[in-house]
Amino acid sequence: MEYPQYRKYKNIETYFIIQSVKLFEEFKVMGSKYSVSKVEAIQFPEQLLIQDMLENKENRWETLSELDFLTKIALIKKNKTKIR
């Protein structure tokens, strides 16, 4: 599989850029604010989350193109306030 991969929860405004099988970044929108978290999947549950995003067995995720992901993140950064 080639990286990065881009995902979004289907019914929640939370976006993910998966850098590898052990590293992802999460952009979570909460009303007028957003947060960014980098997660190194050291523990097994985090590794399972990445595997779930990539395999999408339960149809929870939307796959995004790089352009769609970058466009959406740019709009979030422009229109929302980052939580520090």
| Confidence grade of residue 1 (pLDDT, cut at 50, 70, 90) | confident
Domain count, the chain: 1
13-51 per-position pLDDT tens digit: 999 999 999 999 999 999 999 999 999 999 999 999 999
Cα–Cα dist 60/56, whole Å: 6
Could you tell me the two tokens for 71?
A: 């466009």
> Residue 45: what pLDDT?
94
Give the residue-averaged pLDDT of 69-84. Answer: 96
User: What one-letter code names the amino acid at 68?
Assistant: D
> Residue 84: what pLDDT?
80
Domain range for 42: 5-82
Residue % of the chain over a pLDDT of 90: 95
User: What one-letter code names the amino acid at 13?
Assistant: E
Is the overall model pTM greater than 0.85, yes or no? yes
Q: Token pair 């995720």 is at which residue?
A: 61
